[in-house]
A and B are shown apart, each in its own frame.
Chain A
């Protein structure tokens, strides 16, 4: 599942939970899923941000710095 789908799913979960008409078991299941999704999204965003920062950096000669990007394990 890609990022957008994850975030979409997370939103869906939050909306469902905010309605507050779920059974506790279901709530717990959804909550667990939501937290997991949120964590995944967050780390994906971190990776992307790091990559952008690397790509946006410029050396003394005004040439953009590029290097192979390896996502850190957060």
Chain B
């Protein structure tokens, strides 16, 4: 992505370096009278020892040509001036450190050693350092300007304005034909179609480029609605990018009322414009990505934030709801406690009643016992009644028994009586004479006129005594 170099080649100057190689004559001839014959190999070894031993490290200035970066990573090229050239190689380990891209026609100063490649019998410069010509001076000027502007406070972080997170209109100060604008437009059209882009065309290398860029930048600041300016170009040589190390341009950037993003060359390229700008982008593409971030990534961010907000809100709500539930549950507690107390009170009351009943019952029982022991009149009466009844029953029995006995006796006596009854005699024709129920056995018992009762077997008679005839008893 390098902008084509329009720098005309400067007239080449001859190298000041001239290797003074003195060949000892006695080295080639061992014997003064007889020249020794060497093999090719011996000769080359000899030359190798000679060159590598004598020449050693050299600094050479010249123009690069036939430059080839081999797939191995090593550089092969020639170094030439108007009159001469020498083959050179720079191994990968050394060329990786280069801060520029060597190209044909570039004038460089390099450091190396002469080495001889025996199989081919050629020698070459083995480089370990390479620097574009003028780089040293430029570097010095760069450092001086950097110090100056820094001391003025132009690089201070405090004076850098924030890049709007959601730019709507970007002005791009760069070459309309360069790689930079292509890259920026690419990124923006892919990532932030909604952003309006205005290109303010300018040359970005060569004589007077710095002034042109300053003017273009000034113009960009006057455009309506621009909220970010990107100023920059694609990669190139240090000379190509030199216009961005211009003091006037630096001051113009610092004075811009609109935030400026610098995007010069590659990530490794630093310019004064980078230090002054409000934001340094490593490359133009990166600059575009920085502003495009606002569109796509910002909307993603917003969505994510919205989600987060929603989630955290939900979480908070859930937490509060749970807390409230917990609290209201605990609020119900007094009710439960009341029920417990109710039960406890009832229990106590029941126990109280039971205890009281027991107190009463125990005493009642004792009283009864005592009463029993004491014996009440009623009891006595009852007992006597019972006794009486008992005795009565017994006496009745006894009485009945004795009656029975008497009856039996009576009937026995009666039977006896009956057997001795006078009535039995009467039946045989005797009669019983009584006077006033007194049996008359003697005539002396009666006198004339007495009334006598005469009992017969059948009936009785009453008779009046007529005569009494007393008779002597004869035994």
**Which A residues are within 8 Å of any B CB, using their own CB?**
3, 7, 10-11, 13-14, 17-18, 20, 22, 24, 27-28, 31, 34-35, 38, 41-42, 45, 48-49, 52-53, 56
The smallest beta-carbon distance between A28 and chain B, in angstroms, is 8
How many interface residues does B have (CB within 8 Å)?
Answer: 22
Query: Could you tell me if B338 and A38 are in contact, using CB atoms closer than 8 angstroms?
Result: no
Known: A20-B362, A42-B345, A45-B345. A27 touches B356 (CB 8 A): yes
Stretch at the interface among B111-119, B137-145, B199-207, B329-337: B329-337
Q: Is B344 an interface residue (CB 8 A)?
A: yes
Given A17-B351, A56-B332, 14 further pairs, Cβ under 8 A: A7-B344, A10-B345, A10-B349, A17-B355, A17-B359, A20-B358, A24-B363, A31-B352, A31-B355, A34-B349, A38-B348, A48-B338, A49-B339, A52-B335
B residues within 8 A CB of A53? 335
Give the distance to chain A from B358, nearest Cβ to Cβ, in Å.
6
Docked-complex contact B348 and A11, CB < 8 angstroms: yes
Q: Which residues of B approach A to under 8 Å, CB–CB?
A: 331-332, 334-335, 338-339, 341-342, 344-346, 348-349, 351-352, 355-356, 358-360, 362-363
Number of A-B pairs, beta carbon distance below 8 Å:
69
Contact A7–B351 (Cβ < 8 Å): no
A14-B352 CB under 8 A given contacts A7-B345, A22-B359, A56-B331: yes
Instruction: Check A14 against B335 for contact (C-beta < 8 Å).
Output: no
Expressed in whole angstroms, the Cα–Cα distance for A7 and B346 within the complex equals: 11
Q: What is the distance, in angstroms, from A48's C-beta to the closest C-beta of chain B?
A: 5
Distance of A59 from chain B, by nearest CB (Å): 15
Cα of A14 to Cα of B332 in the assembled complex, Å: 30
Assess the B335–A17 pair: CB atoms within 8 A: no
| Neighbouring A residues of B363 by C-beta, 8 Å | 24
CA distance A42 to B54 in the complex (A): 123
Query: Given contacts A7-B345, A20-B359, A42-B345, is CB(A34)–CB(B335) below 8 Å?
Result: no
**B352 close to A27 (CB less than 8 A):** no
Known contacts A7-B341, A24-B359, A27-B359; decide if A56 and B352 are in contact (CB<8 Å).
Answer: no
Known: A14-B351, A31-B352, A52-B335. A38 touches B359 (CB 8 A): no
How many Å lie between the Cα of A35 and that of B356 in the bound state? 11
Contact between B345 and A20, CB atoms less than 8 A apart: no
| Closest chain B residue to A50, Cβ basis | B338
Majority secondary structure of chain A interface residues (helix, strand, loop or mixed) = helix
Query: Chain A contacts of B338 at CB under 8 A?
Result: 45, 48-49, 52
* Residue with the highest number of chain B CB atoms closer than 10 Å, among A3, A35, A45, A56: A45
- Given known pairs A45-B341, A48-B338, A49-B335, the reply for A18 and B355 (CB within 8 Å) is yes
Cβ B334 vs Cβ A14 within 8 A: no
| B334 CB contacts on chain A under 8 angstroms | 48, 52
Return A58 CB to nearest CB of chain B, in Å: 10
B358 in contact with A41 (CB, 8 Å): no
B342 touches A10 (CB 8 A): no
Q: Which residue of A lies closest to B345 (CB)?
A: A41
A18 to chain B: which residues have CB within 8 Å?
351, 355
By beta carbon, the residue of chain A nearest B342 is A45
Among residues of A, the one whose C-beta sits closest to the C-beta of B331 is: A56
Please name the residue on chain A nearest to B347 by beta carbon.
A14
- Bound-state CA distance A67–B349 (Å) is 33
A3 to chain B, nearest CB (A): 8
Chain B residue nearest to A47 (CB atoms) is: B338
Chain B residues lying within 8 Å of A22, measured Cβ to Cβ, are 359
Q: Which residue of B lies closest to A34 (CB)?
A: B352
Given contacts A10-B352, A18-B355, A27-B356, contact A56 B335 (CB under 8 A): yes
CB neighbours (8 Å) of B332 from chain A are 56
Residues of B within 8 A of A31 (CB): 352, 355-356, 359
How far apart are the CA atoms of A37 and B298 in the complex, in Å? 75
Contact in complex: B356, A17 (CB < 8 Å): yes
Task: Provide the bound-state CA to CA distance between A12 and B85, in Å.
Answer: 124
Inside 8 A of B359's CB, which chain A residues have their CB?
A: 17, 20, 22, 24, 27, 31
| A13-B349 Cα distance, complex, nearest whole Å | 10
Which residues of A have CB within 8 Å of B352? 10, 13-14, 17, 31, 34-35, 38
- Give Cα A48 to B342, complex, Å: 11
* Residues of chain A with a CB closer than 8 A to B335's CB: 49, 52-53, 56
